[in-house]
Structure 1
């Protein structure tokens, strides 16, 4: 059985850079719509993950054979499920610590004492040769080099016969970079357990297959996004009742320990094309919105003074605006980082207008603070001035910021919003006190980043106070504030969020602090979907959108 993709960890600020892919890969063509995957081959009578088990899977009429890829000590790609050879062979030790010759010399234990055949651990090349033109491969990518794996797939002309199951985020990035045409599959983390959360996730990670989704609403979200769903049904009680249950869910295929029996069952019941549950409630099409890109709000060169605006259908003079400020240590990043699923949610569904802004970035000692906050003021003024012309409410705003962008959002709200237009601010792991030397150790990334931003090394300097949102916060300037932070953030210490929370409390200003104890700077997939949901809830409470006409 595959492990849950618990290693997935990506930063929300750079999610589009990590997961961006404009054209999805295509799944291998199969004779039947409902695919049958032979788990480690057809291993009821012969040992798993052997050439014999794969040959039997082919003879049984299955569509895919699932194999487990590992690497020998001397760099040969081998097929073996376990990290060690102890369970399946007469040898001992880790696959990665044994050479190809040592692995090939091992005898695989037989299922039945009467079996006169001998079995050994096959190489990936041998499996590719056996399967070419006969059956597709479901490649559980355990421990191997992506470039080497892709090279061997190409050498055998198997580019259109492989689906890769990924277990770790580096594997995702490597496969998308080296072989973007290969379809990818994974499991969902336990936190992605609702249709809404799945929708957020799929707006970030471009996949072709998911497994083990049994909730009808989530299944429909996957299908709406063009993603196939394959269930694992292999367990001691596997049989017709379980197969029928999987079919009734409307999934696109199953992975089985009894491929021969399953194919026979499907054929006898005329179910090789599967059952799509057309009676289930179909989710509505994605809400639509209008996007206007690269609008100039200032005169800085390049993209520094550009913004993107997103408007709901039928927006009017009462449509409220949410402003987003990107992160990137004040020296990188872009307005395009705002996740598309959150645009769909806030703009297409809830009816807000959204504006995502760029600002001058520190480069080669130029554009240091206060250039960034000056640009935020310019952008807010521009948005205010254009309200009547473009039909939205330009008198009040909510501001969301991530990392450096959260710093600017807080600083503007507490220190530069002379017109009192900001009604709430959402802080995603932003620094709040640049004068706090206790979280700026000499030589640390945090200290170097602040020095580069301000051009001043002394935390006691006036510019550090001027640039710190916490020093501008008073009972008169404070607004409802939602704070998210990682408990193990190595760049912006969690005490920055905790101290801001305490000061807001002391001033009687509505606020809420969410600390994700195991997260670092940014959020993992599990935390990100929770952050998204809580952001929407907060906005609806403290900055409710006008109902769409």
Structure 2
């Protein structure tokens, strides 16, 4: 377990080192790295996020599972405080990018964010002002409130969403796609028929394969 401090608050980071000898890391000492941002369920679904982190790490990426809810002392989001806490979490993620870029095993030119639900919104929030983020995987996430009106800068983005998502409606994925088109940003999108907020069965395996391919294309050895 690693950590850094922001606003006097200790933020823990679970570190999953890239598998040695994998293609994505290239031949240099430093390799690409991913911030993994959980959804509002936070640590109540920690084992699922850790499985995702290990899967990405096996493909050759250092993965930092950022426990950004530490900033507000929560294990999961308190919805009654979501609006007031959101800026604190966003600031925490911004500082986490700098922390990640400074790690001795990380190539600071190959940074990405995989965000789930609320974590995806925080990924978009961060990338709008941080050119170091070269790729985003948006897993069932919404656009931050008022985001499109800001005409933000966004990196290449992979959108994955369930057509029957009852938590974050698929209209959010469609809004993200429209924004990316307007910005002229390269993107990929896959809407899974019959899937909700999180994927099961064949969709789960397909999404994992798409994530691996997307990261290899934009953060892999050819981008070093």
1:399 aligns with 2:116: no
Residue 32 of structure 2 corresponds to 320
TM-score if structure 2 supplies the norm length?
Answer: 0.81
Alignment partner of 2:137 out of 414, 422, 426: 426
Match of 1:497 in 2: 173
Q: SS of the residue aligned with 1:518? A: coil
Per-residue deviation, 1:505:
1.5
The root-mean-square deviation of aligned C-alpha atoms, in Å, is: 2.8
Question: In 2 relative to 1, CA 421–516 (structure 1 residues): closer, same or farther, beyond 3 Å?
Answer: same
Change (3 A) 1:333 1:401: farther
Unmatched segments (≥5 aa) in structure 2: none
Partner in structure 1 of residue 68 of structure 2: 359
- TM superposition shift of 1:512: 1.2
Note the 1:330-349 alignment, pairs <5 A. 333=44, 337-340=48-51, 342-348=52-58
Normalising by structure 1, report the TM-score: 0.35
Contact 2:121–2:144 (8 Å) recurs in 1: no
For residues 435-459 of structure 1, the C-alpha deviation after alignment (integer angstroms, 9 at most, x for no partner) is: xxxxxxxxxxxxxxxxxxxxxxxxx
Structure 2 residue 196 is matched with structure 1 residue 520: yes
Distance of aligned partners of 1:473 and 1:523 in 2 relative to their CA distance in 1, 3 Å threshold: farther
> Any gaps of 5 or more consecutive residues in structure 1?
1-292, 435-464
Structure 1 423/335 Cα, relative in aligned 2: closer, same or farther at 3 Å? farther
Give the number of the structure whose residues are more often strand, by fraction: 2
Distance 1:333 1:472, change over 3 A: farther
Hey, what's the Cα distance between the residues in 1 that align with 2:195 and 2:8?
Answer: 36
Any idea what SS the aligned residue of 1:320 has?
strand
Q: Report the CA distance shift for 1:374/1:493 in structure 2 as closer, same or farther (over 3 A).
A: same
Give the whole-Å Cα distance in 2 for the aligned partners of 1:515 and 1:484: 6
Q: Pick the structure with greater CA Rg.
A: 1
Give the 3-state SS of the residue equivalent to 1:394 in structure 2.
Answer: strand
Per-residue Cα deviation, 1:248-285 (whole angstroms, up to 9, x for no partner): xxxxxxxxxxxxxxxxxxxxxxxxxxxxxxxxxxxxxx
Q: Is the 8 A contact 1:321 1:398 kept in 2?
A: yes
Structure 1 distance, partners of 2:43, 2:87, is: 16
The structure carrying a bigger helix percent of its residues is 2
2:155 match: 479
Summarize the Cα distance change of 1:545–1:351 in structure 2 as closer, same or farther, 3 Å threshold. farther
Aligned equivalents of 2:173, 2:53: Cα separation in 1: 26
- Map of 2:4 onto structure 1: 297
1:396: how far off? 3.3
Instruction: After superposition, give the CA deviation of every residue in 1:363-415 in whole Å (9 maximum; x if it has no partner).
Output: 47486120110110121121223x2xx3221343111011111111111112x
Q: CA deviation at 1:337?
A: 3.5
Alignment pair present for 1:379 and 2:96: yes
**Secondary structure at 1:523 match in 2:** coil
Alpha-carbon spacing, 1:399–1:427, altered in 2? closer, same or farther (3 Å): same
Do 2:90 and 2:126's aligned partners in 1 also have CA atoms closer than 8 Å? yes
Q: How far is the alpha carbon of 1:346 from its aligned partner? A: 3.0
